[in-house]
Amino acid sequence: QGLTNSVGMALAEKLLASEFNREGHAIVDHHTYVFLGDGCLMEGISHEASALAGAWKLNKLIALYDDNGISIDGKVAPWFVDNTAQRFAAYGWNVIGPIDGHDVDAVDRAIADAKNSAGNGSAGPTLIICKTHIGKGSPNRQDTAKAHGEALGVDEIRLTREALGWPYKPFEIPREGYADWDAKAAGLALETAWDLKFAAYKAAHPELAAEFVRRMKGDLPKNFHQVAVDTVVAANVKAETVASRKASQIALEAFTAALPEMLGGSADLTGSNLTNTKSTPALRFDLAGDVVRTPDANGVMVGGRHINYGVREF
Among 23, 207, 240, 313, the active-site one is 313
Active-site annotation holds for 313: yes
Backbone torsion region of residue 64, taken as left when φ is above 0, otherwise alpha when ψ lies between -120 and 50, otherwise beta = beta
What DSSP string describes the chain? -HHHHHHHHHHHHHHHHHHH-BTTB------EEEEEEHHHHHSHHHHHHHHHHHHTT-TTEEEEEEE--EETTEESTTT----HHHHHHHHT-EEEEEEETT-HHHHHHHHHHHHHHHHTT--S-EEEEEE--TTTT-TTTTTSHHHHHS---HHHHHHHHHHHT--S-TT---STT-GGG--HHHHHHHHHHHHHHHHHHHHH-HHHHHHHHHHHHTPPPTTHHHHHHHHHHHHHHH-----HHHHHHHHHHHHHHH-TT--EEESS-HHHH----TT-PBP-B-TTSPBPEEE-TTS-EEE--EEE--S---
Distance, CA of 226 to CA of 147 (rounded, Å)? 57
- Find, among 261, 257, 277, the residue nearest to 15 by Cα: 261
Which residues are known to be catalytic?
A: 313
